[in-house]
């Protein structure tokens, strides 16, 4: 791997984190995120799917949260990514899904993360946490 591609990987991670959290916090629509996602190369889409699955895991999704996320995502409950996320425990091999299921996987993962993260922001964080991703610049009030 060259230096340039490593730098590229890091900036993709930062972009993924920002976009996914903006969606979770209602600053960006899911469709807008999907438009960004579909513009990426195959390798980058797989990387994003791994990253977002990691966020979902860290947000401690529940089976109920998985189902609520699938409903919000607009993806059919019988689609592979929906079935995987609703398993107990969820199956996380989304990056290994066929390329034509990457968009539905992205929709499901971001929606499930949104459900879990919204619950966490409203309970545990309660507007006073130090999570950088819960304190995005767009949410900061002007003095």
Mask for 67-106, x = binds Zn ion (CB under 5 A):
----------------------------------------
Q: Which listed residue (63, 64, 129, 139) binds Zn ion by CB under 5 A?
A: 129
CB of 134 to Zn ion, least distance (A): 4
CB of 36 to Zn ion, least distance (A): 23
Distance between CA 136 and CA 35 in Å, rounded?
21
Half-sphere exposure of 1 (CA within 13 A, CB side): 6
Nearer to Zn ion, 92 or 133 (CB): 133
- 18 near Zn ion, judged by CB under 5 A: no
Place of tokens 């995502």: 73
User: Are 109 and 58 in contact, with CB atoms under 8 Å apart?
Assistant: no
Question: What distances in angstroms separate CA 113 from CA 6, 7, 14, 49, 85, one per listed residue?
Answer: 26, 26, 17, 12, 11
Q: Which listed residue (87, 134, 140, 141) binds Zn ion by CB under 5 A?
A: 134
Nearer to Zn ion, 13 or 135 (CB): 135
Angle (CA) 6 32 64, round 5°: 90
Of the candidate spans 23-31, 39-47, 84-92, 122-130, the one that interacts with Zn ion by CB under 5 A turns out to be 122-130
Q: Which listed residue (13, 58, 131, 139) binds Zn ion by CB under 5 A?
A: 131
The DSSP letter of residue 54 is H
Q: Which residues bind Zn ion (CB under 5 A)?
A: 125, 129, 131, 134
């Amino acid at each position: 791997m060259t230096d340039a591609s490593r730098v590229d990987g890091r900036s993709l991670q930062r972009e993924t984190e920002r976009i996914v959290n903006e969606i979770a916090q209602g600053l960006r629509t899911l469709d807008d995120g999907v438009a960004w996602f579909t513009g990426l190369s195959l390798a980058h889409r797989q990387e994003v799917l791994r990253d977002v699955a990691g966020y979902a895991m860290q947000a401690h999704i529940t089976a109920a949260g998985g189902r609520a996320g699938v409903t919000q995502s607009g993806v059919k409950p019988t689609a592979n990514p929906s079935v995987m996320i609703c398993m107990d425990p969820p199956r996380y091999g989304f990056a290994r899904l066929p390329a034509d299921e990457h968009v539905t996987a992205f929709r499901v993962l971001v929606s499930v993360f949104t459900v879990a993260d919204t619950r966490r922001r409203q309970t545990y964080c309660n507007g006073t946490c130090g999570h950088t991703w819960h304190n995005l610049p767009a949410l900061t009030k002007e003095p």
